[in-house]
Structure 1
Amino acid sequence: MRKSKVKKVAFYLLLAFILFYLLFPFYWAVNSSLKTEAQIQMTPATFIPRDPVTREFSPSFHNYRVIFDNQQFIRGVWNSTVVAVSTTALALTAGSFAAFALGKLRFKGRKPALYMILAMTMFPQVTVLAGLYAVINTLNLSARLSMILSYMIFTLPFTTWVLTAFFKGLPPALMESAQVDGATPFQTFYRILLPLTAPAMVTTGLLAFIAAWNEYLFALTFTSIDPGARTVPVAIAYFGGAVARQEPFGEIMAAAVVVTVPIVLLVLIFQRRIVAGLTAGAIKG
C-alpha cells in the first residue's frame, strides 16, 4: 500500500512539473506583456507587474494598445489568416481525395505512393527553400500565393498520411453497400465516408492551420521583396522600438499573446473532435 502511494505521489509530481514546464513560458509572456519598459528592466525580475517605486501590483495595457495601433501587425494578422485558412482548405481537399484513393481503392503503385508521401515529410524545410525560391521567381508568383503553395509541401503529406489511416479503418461494408445501391465511387466518398472522417479532418486541419500560422522561414524569404504580404511571425520580428537600438520586448510579448490566443481557442472548441481523431482506430472490435 505504501509503495502504491509513493508511485501516485511521484506521478502527480511529474505531472505538475510537465504542466509547469509547458505553461510557464506562456505565463511569462503574459506577465511581460503587462509591464512597462521600466518594469521590464527591474532587477530582480518580478513574477507579476509591480510598480518600480511602490512595488505594488501595477499592470499596464500600453503594449496591447501599441500593437493594435500598429498597421504592420494588423496587416500581418490578416495575411496569416488568409494564408493559413487557404493552406488548410487546400490540404484537406486534396488530402481527403488522395487518402480515399490510397485507403479504399486498389491500384498498382499504391504502397510506393504512400511511402513516397511519408518520405516527403522527412526533408527539412531549409533543404528545399533555395530551389523553391528560384521556381517562385521564375513563375513570378505573388508572395501570398507562394506561401500557400509552399506550405502545402509539409501540410499535404501529413494530412494525406493521417487521413489514409482513418479511411483504412472504416468498415469495407459501407462502401460495398453503397455500390450495391448504385452509388459511384465519388458519391460513396462524398456522401458516406467523408462525413465519418470529421474527427480526423478537424485534427489534421487544425494541425495544418497551426503549422501555416506559425511558419517563419518561408514567409521571411518570400516576403523579402513584398513587405505588405508579411505574415504575423515576420511582422513581429520586424517590430522596432520607440528609440534607436531599443528592443520592444513588451510589445513583442503582447503580440505573441494575441497571436497565441486564437490557436488556444480553436483547440478548446474542437478538443473533443481532436481527441476522437487522434484515438480513431486505436481499438478494434
Structure 2
Amino acid sequence: MLAKRNPTLFYLQRIGFYVLVILIAFYLLFPFLWAVLTSFRRGGDLFLVPSKFILAPSTISNYVTVFNNPQFQHAFLLSLIVAAGSVALSLLIGTLAAYALGRFRFKGKSMILYIILAVSVFPQIAVLGGLYTVVQASGTYNNPVALIFSYLIFTIPFTVWVLTSFVRDIPGELEEASLVDGATPLQTLFRVLFPVMMPALVTTGLLAFINCWNEYLFALTFTSSNRTIPPVIANFSGASQFDQPWGPIMAASIVVTVPLIALVLIFQRNIVSGLTAGAVKG
C-alpha cells in the first residue's frame, strides 16, 4: 500500500528487484558463458589477460578436435545407452513401487519408505567398495551393465519418492471405475493411471537422466576402457604431459551440456507441472 501511494518508492523497488534478478542471472550464467568463450579460443589465448582474451579471434578447432576424437564418440554413445537404460529401469520399478506404496495398505509400508529414503541419504563413496566387489564377482567390470544397475542406487529412491506422492493425489474414482469394468491392477496402472502420471514421469525421468549423464565416480571405478563422458573428458591429454587442453575440454563440456539444455527446454511445461503436482489441493 505504501509503495502504491508513493510512486518514487514503488519504482525504486521495481528497479531494485530487476537489478537483483540480473545479478543472480549473471552469477549463475557466467561460468557457462566463460566455458563457451574458452571453447572458441586457442590454447595460447588462455594466458592472456581477460580483456584481451575476450577480444581474441574465435576458432572452431577445439570442436573439430572433439568430434574427431573416436574415444569421445564412443563415450557419448555409451553415456546415452547407460543413462537411457538406467532411467527406463528406474521408471519401471519406481512406477510399480509407487503404485503399491501410494494405493495399497499393508503392514510395514512406512518402514519401506523410510528405508528407501535412508538409502538415498548415503553418499556414493560409502557404497563404492561393496559395489566394486559385486561388480567384480558378477563379471560385469568394464561393462555398461555394471553402470546401468549401479546407477539404480540413486535413481530408484528419487523416482519412488516423487511418484508415490503423485500417485496419492490421483483421484481414486479413476481406479475404481477401471476396476468395476473388470481391469486388473496392472491394467489399471498402465492404461489408466500411467497417462495421468506422465508429467511426473517426464520430470523424474529427466532429472534421473541428468544425474546418470553427469555421474563420474562409478563410471571411473567400474570401467577401464568403456567409459562414459565425464571420465573421458577428465582424462583428455594435450601434446605433452605438461599441456592441459582446456579448449577441447570446454568444447566437449559444451557439446554434452547442449542436449540436456534442449531436453529441459522441450519438456519444461511437463517439468513444472510434475514438480508442482500435489502442492495445492483443491
Question: Could you say if the C-alpha distance between residues 44 and 270 of structure 1 is closer, same or farther in structure 2, counting changes exceeding 3 Å?
Answer: closer
Tell me the distance in 1 between the aligned counterparts of 2:136 and 2:209. 25
1:13 maps to 2:19: yes
Task: Please give the per-residue CA displacement for 1:154-179, whole angstroms capped at 9, x wherever unaligned.
Answer: 00000010000000010111111112
Structure 1 residues 207 and 74 mapped into 2: Cα distance closer, same or farther (>3 Å)?
Answer: same
Distance 1:269 1:172 in 2: 31
Paired letter, 2:174? L
CA RMSD across the alignment: 1.3
The answer on whether the counterparts of 1:34 and 1:49 sit within 8 Å (CA) in structure 2 is no
Other-structure match for 1:160? 160
Query: What pairs with 1:163-182 in structure 2 (closer than 5 Å)?
Result: 163-182=163-182
Residue equivalent to 1:75: 74
Q: Residue 215 of structure 1 corresponds to which residue in structure 2?
A: 215
Conservation of the 8 A alpha-carbon contact between 2:102 and 2:168: yes
SS state at 1:48 partner: helix
Mapped to 2, the partners of 1:86 and 1:45 lie a distance apart of 45
CA contact (8 A) 2:102 2:167 kept: yes
Measure the CA separation in 1 of the matches of 2:114 and 2:9.
Answer: 47
2:241 aligns to what?
Answer: 244
Unpaired stretches in structure 1, ≥5 consecutive residues:
51-57
* Separation of aligned partners in 2, 1:132 and 1:248: 33
Per-residue deviation, 1:142: 3.8
Cα deviation, residue 72, structure 1: 1.1
The one-letter code sitting in structure 1 at the alignment partner of 2:137 is T
The one-letter code of the counterpart of 1:139 is S
Which residue identity does 1:71 align to in structure 2? Answer: P
CA displacement at 1:244 relative to structure 2:
3.3
- The amino acid that maps onto 1:222 is F
For residues 277 and 47 of structure 1, the distance between their equivalents in structure 2, rounded to whole angstroms, comes to: 42
In 2: Cα distance, 1:133 partner to 1:66 partner? 34
What is the Cα deviation at residue 46 of structure 1? 4.1
Q: Letter of the 1:29 partner, please give it.
A: A
2:47 matches 1:41: yes
TM-score between the two structures when normalised by the length of structure 2: 0.94
Contact 1:39 1:49 in 2 (8 A): no
Q: What is aligned with 1:53?
A: none
Q: In structure 1, how many angstroms separate the alpha carbons of the residues matched to 2:37 and 2:237?
A: 21
Shift of 1:49: 4.6
- Structure 2 counterparts to residues 261-276 of structure 1, below 5 A: 261-276=258-273
- 2:191 maps to 191
8 A Cα contact 1:31 1:49, kept in partner: no
Corresponding residue for residue 149 of structure 2: 149
Q: Which amino acid aligns with 1:248?
A: P
Of residues 261, 269, 280, the one that matches 2:277 is: 280
The percent of aligned pairs where both chains have the same amino acid is 51
In 1, the alpha carbon distance for the partners of 2:50 and 2:206 equals 39
Q: How does 1:77-96 map to 2 (within 5 A)?
A: 77-96=76-95
Q: Which amino acid aligns with 2:146?
A: S
* Residue segments in structure 2 that go unaligned for 5+ positions in a row: 1-5
Query: What TM-score, normalized by structure 1, do the two folds share?
Result: 0.93
Instruction: Tell me the CA shift for residue 109 of structure 1.
Output: 1.2
The answer on whether the counterparts of 2:46 and 2:53 sit within 8 Å (CA) in structure 1 is no
